[in-house]
């Protein structure tokens, strides 16, 4: 079965899925050289495609051709029987086609065979082609044979590695090959900075601060306002330098991911697991304690990026005095708060990210506003006025650039510019609000759902939720085009925190004093207030309630009765469960692992019949309310719950189509 071994790697072009594609004759090297090379590539965190199918037919599979096209570099391992496989020869032709068409790197490896034999098709290759010519002796078939011969000659003329005489150890040979692969990929990454303006100089300045030739452990801070490009800058530096270190880790969104009781410990565990390549590390105390772990860290040269730090405790637990890293280690911290860096970073190691200069801002704005069009004198003048207003903030430039992209005439530009002038002194959140105001109603609703509930969600899951909510999922692509959201390489929805806050502010403004009169509720305190005081209204459409920080909640039997338009209800606990034991006592549901008590003063008597999506983790009853008619319900999830056969009462309507996910813990 074909598979890929994945891990984070060098900066990828959007259409490149793999860093390395391995082409080889399975019976020759699958369990020797190729497997050792594959393992070495994985240790360097390179996303490598290897075909694990033991038996191959005559026709190369389309998926394999696609994998070649989506790889940045191909390694062709020539062995004595490589030419006897038409599959391998077809791979070779396709790889060289990608090299000529797309500039893909190709590295030939000659294992137990000389480049001369491959180039001139002599020795075992002569025998193989004698059989091929007999097999494909018709004119059309001979054309294919000629293509194979030509491909072998071209590949053998490329700069590669000759292991035909087995000089040195295989381990040394693989180490040199992997380093060459890394160098080529990083060279490609350095030239793949499309859409990044004024980045090269900033990267060089940060590399200078890192003092890469020094054996000391060095910490550099990257400081600036939200949306100014700190994360982008750290990302480029990280991927350029990662091959120079024994272990690397980029912790994104430290501020957000450290929330909750164990959030910061989970982050530290992620850091230690990545650096030490040990998935069993799980420490939930301020001190690491383990001298073995500390010793391993002291002997490991690491590159670490902590992105978006907002609390000194995060720094102390992640890279503080309890953690000593190997000589030559480098740590990069991005933050909006300069004061957090003072105790750990010396002043001359703090890099302030400033807004783009006028020409750079103009270039970035035109990139998003005009796409591939050349700016006319009139449009350039309009653009300059916009640039003066935005003041070089990359996020605002991209967002407003996409907004102006819809303007087809000078009059449209003038109208949009006049609209901007109504907010001459507003902060960046108000600037970003303009993109939202220009959306159609469907896209506005999608944007608000993502801001309130779906940021960081898998794209397929998000689309399903939006569809259940009654919105057109094409809105996601429109939001991407408007630079309001993006999709990560791992297919998760991403939204800048400033944009998310803007969306949430829009919802809060529906009724600042009474959360129960807003259409979306996500903040635990707001949900707590509405449920505890029974102040919900028919305005409420969605509730996402994280109970991880709620130690006690007493509800009446009908806390949702007034929410007649509630369509989405999510009650969950974001803390990962280390050990879970539970028992059902009356109406009290005890989570022993966290000493939490969720109390309902009486049985849950009602749920809105309008519900379309219900997710209730650790639902404390064995059945749903008897008067609940789930004819609108599309999906029901109750992980960790005690529901049983009596979930539905006899009088409840039969559901024709329902995604049903339950977990039982008796």
How many whole angstroms separate alpha carbon 340 and alpha carbon 323? 18
Same structural domain, 210 and 281: yes
The answer to whether the CB of 536 falls within 8 A of the CB of 559 is yes
Domain end position, chosen among 487, 505, 523: 505
- Give me the pLDDT at residue 389, please: 66
Q: The tokens of 104 are what? A: 């893909």
Same structural domain, 316 and 404: no
How many whole angstroms separate alpha carbon 303 and alpha carbon 307? 13
How many whole angstroms separate alpha carbon 90 and alpha carbon 73? 17
What is the average per-residue pLDDT within 451-480? 93
422 pLDDT above the threshold of 70? no
Unique residue bearing structure tokens 């939202």: 436
φ, ψ dihedrals at 663, nearest 5°: -130, 135
How many whole angstroms separate alpha carbon 315 and alpha carbon 321? 10
What are the beta bridge partners of residue 616?
571
567 pLDDT above the threshold of 90? yes
Domain end position, chosen among 437, 452, 483: 437
Question: Poorest-confidence range of 35-39, 357-361, 497-501?
Answer: 497-501
Quote the mean pLDDT of the chain: 82
Same structural domain, 231 and 347: yes
Kindly report the number of other CB atoms within 10 A of residue 431's CB atom: 24
Confidence of residue 156 (pLDDT cuts 50, 70, 90): very high
Same structural domain, 393 and 461: no
CATH number of 464's domain: 1.10.10
The answer to whether the CB of 426 falls within 8 A of the CB of 454 is no
Strands 48-50 and 3-5: antiparallel
pLDDT tens-place string over residues 271-281 = 999 898 888 89
Same structural domain, 453 and 432: no
Q: The tokens of 153 are what? A: 């000659």
503 pLDDT above the threshold of 80? yes
Same structural domain, 328 and 199: yes
Confidence of residue 650 (pLDDT cuts 50, 70, 90): low
Asked about 259 being catalytic, the answer comes back as: no
How many whole angstroms separate alpha carbon 317 and alpha carbon 264? 8
Closest C-alpha among 335, 306, 340 to residue 323 = 306
Kindly report the number of other CB atoms within 10 A of residue 214's CB atom: 11
Closest C-alpha among 334, 346, 388, 345 to residue 225 = 334
431 pLDDT above the threshold of 80? no
Same structural domain, 204 and 313: yes
Cα distances (Å, whole numbers) of residue 508 to 44, 114, 406, 513, 611 = 46, 71, 29, 9, 23
CATH number of 133's domain: 3.40.50.10140
Same structural domain, 453 and 586: no
More confident residue, 602 or 418: 418
- Contacts by residues 118-124 (CB-CB < 8 Å, ≥ 24 positions apart): 118/78, 118/82, 118/83, 118/152, 118/155, 118/156, 119/152, 119/153, 119/156, 119/157, 120/153, 121/83, 121/149, 121/152, 121/153, 123/80, 124/80, 124/81, 124/83, 124/84
- Give me the pLDDT at residue 418, please: 72
Q: What is the DSSP letter of 469?
A: T
Q: What is the DSSP letter of 349?
A: G
313 pLDDT above the threshold of 60? yes
- Give me the pLDDT at residue 72, please: 92
CA–centroid distance for 143 within its chain: 45
The answer to whether the CB of 231 falls within 8 A of the CB of 307 is yes
481 pLDDT above the threshold of 90? no
The answer to whether the CB of 185 falls within 8 A of the CB of 175 is no
Same structural domain, 529 and 457: no
CATH number of 251's domain: 3.40.50.300
DSSP string, 103-171: --EEEEEEESS-HHHHHHT-THHHHHHHHHHHHT-SHHHHHHHHHHHHHHHHHHTSS-EEESS--S-HH
Same structural domain, 347 and 468: no
What is the average per-residue pLDDT within 116-124? 94
φ, ψ dihedrals at 635, nearest 5°: -145, 135
Q: The tokens of 532 are what? A: 């505890």
Confidence of residue 3 (pLDDT cuts 50, 70, 90): very low
Same structural domain, 526 and 644: yes
Q: Give the SS3 label for residue 163.
A: strand
57 pLDDT above the threshold of 90? no
659 pLDDT above the threshold of 70? no
Q: Which of 59, 69, 91, 599 is catalytic?
A: 91
How many whole angstroms separate alpha carbon 318 and alpha carbon 321? 9
In percent, the amount of the chain with pLDDT more than 70 equals: 82
DSSP string, 368-381: HHTTTSPPPHHHHH
- Give me the pLDDT at residue 600, please: 54
More confident residue, 346 or 372: 346
The answer to whether the CB of 85 falls within 8 A of the CB of 25 is yes
What are the beta bridge partners of residue 222?
334, 351
- Give me the pLDDT at residue 187, please: 64
Residues of the domain holding 446:
442-505
Confidence of residue 365 (pLDDT cuts 50, 70, 90): confident
Please report which helix (H) or strand (E) contains residue 531, including its range: helix 524-533
Looking at the structure of the chain, the number of domains it has is 5
- Give me the pLDDT at residue 169, please: 86
Same structural domain, 268 and 184: no
How many whole angstroms separate alpha carbon 274 and alpha carbon 252? 13
- Give me the pLDDT at residue 76, please: 97
Domain end position, chosen among 505, 529, 546: 505
């Amino acid at each position: 079965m074909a598979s890929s071994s994945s891990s984070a790697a060098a900066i990828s072009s959007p259409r490149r899925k793999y860093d390395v594609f391995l082409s080889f004759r399975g019976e020759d090297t699958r369990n020797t050289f190729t497997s050792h090379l594959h393992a070495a590539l994985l240790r360097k965190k390179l996303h490598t495609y290897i075909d694990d199918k033991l038996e191959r037919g005559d026709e190369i599979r389309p998926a394999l051709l696609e994998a070649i096209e989506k790889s940045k570099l191909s390694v062709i391992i020539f062995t004595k029987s490589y030419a006897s496989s038409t599959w391998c020869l077809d791979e070779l032709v396709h790889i060289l086609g990608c090299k000529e068409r797309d500039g893909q790197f190709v590295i030939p490896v000659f294992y137990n065979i000389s480049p001369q034999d491959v180039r001139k098709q002599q020795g075992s290759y002569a025998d193989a082609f004698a059989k091929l010519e007999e097999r494909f002796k018709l004119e059309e078939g001979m054309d294919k044979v000629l293509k194979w011969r030509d491909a072998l000659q071209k590949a053998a003329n490329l700069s590669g590695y000759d292991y035909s005489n087995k000089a040195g150890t295989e381990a040394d040979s693989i180490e040199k090959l992997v380093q060459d692969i890394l160098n080529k990929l990083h060279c490609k990454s350095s030239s793949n900075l499309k859409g990044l303006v004024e980045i090269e100089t900033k990267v060089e300045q940060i590399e200078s601060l890192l003092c890469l030739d020094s054996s000391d452990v060095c910490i550099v801070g990257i400081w600036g306002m939200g949306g100014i490009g700190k994360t982008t800058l750290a990302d480029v530096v990280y991927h350029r330098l990662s091959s120079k270190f024994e272990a690397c880790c980029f912790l994104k969104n430290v501020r957000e991911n450290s929330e909750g009781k164990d959030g910061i410990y989970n982050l530290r565990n992620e850091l230690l697991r990545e650096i030490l390549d040990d998935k069993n590390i799980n420490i939930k105390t301020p001190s690491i304690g383990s001298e073995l772990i500390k010793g391993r860290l002291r002997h490991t040269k690491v590159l670490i990026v902590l992105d978006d730090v907002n609390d000194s405790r995060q720094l102390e637990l992640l890279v503080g005095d309890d953690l000593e890293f190997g000589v030559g280690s480098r740590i990069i911290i991005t933050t909006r708060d300069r004061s957090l860096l003072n105790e750990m970073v010396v002043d001359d190691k703090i890099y302030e990210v400033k807004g783009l200069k006028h020409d750079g801002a103009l270039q970035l704005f035109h990139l998003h506003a005009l796409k591939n069009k050349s700016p006319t004198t009139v449009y350039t003048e309009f653009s300059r006025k916009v640039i003066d207003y935005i003041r070089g903030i990359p996020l605002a430039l991209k967002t407003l650039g996409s907004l102006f992209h819809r303007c087809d005439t000078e009059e449209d530009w003038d109208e949009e510019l006049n609209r901007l002038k109504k907010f001459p002194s507003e902060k960046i959140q108000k600037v970003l609000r303009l993109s939202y105001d220009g959306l159609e109603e469907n896209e506005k609703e999608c944007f608000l759902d993502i801001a309130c509930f779906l940021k960081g969600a898998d794209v397929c899951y998000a689309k399903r939720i939006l569809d259940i909510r009654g919105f057109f999922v094409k809105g996601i692509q429109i939001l991407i085009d408007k630079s309001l959201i993006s999709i990560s390489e791992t297919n998760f929805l991403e939204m800048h925190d400033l944009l998310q806050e803007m969306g949430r502010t829009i919802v809060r403004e529906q009724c600042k004093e009474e959360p129960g009169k807003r259409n979306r509720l996500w903040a635990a305190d707001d949900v707590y207030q509405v449920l505890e005081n029974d102040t919900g209204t028919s305005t409420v459409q969605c509730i996402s309630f994280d109970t991880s920080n709620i130690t006690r909640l007493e509800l009446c039997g009908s806390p949702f009765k007034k929410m007649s338009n509630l369509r989405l209800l999510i009650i969950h606990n974001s803390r990962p469960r280390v050990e879970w034991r539970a028992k059902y006592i009356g109406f009290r549901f005890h989570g022993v692992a966290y000493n939490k008590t969720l109390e309902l003063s009486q049985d849950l008597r009602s749920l809105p019949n309008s519900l379309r999506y219900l997710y209730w983790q650790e639902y404390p009853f064995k059945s749903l309310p008897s008067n609940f008619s789930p004819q609108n319900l599309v999906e029901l999830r109750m992980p960790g719950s005690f529901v049983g056969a009596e979930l539905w009462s006899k009088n409840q309507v039969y559901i024709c189509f329902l995604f049903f996910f339950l977990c039982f813990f008796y």
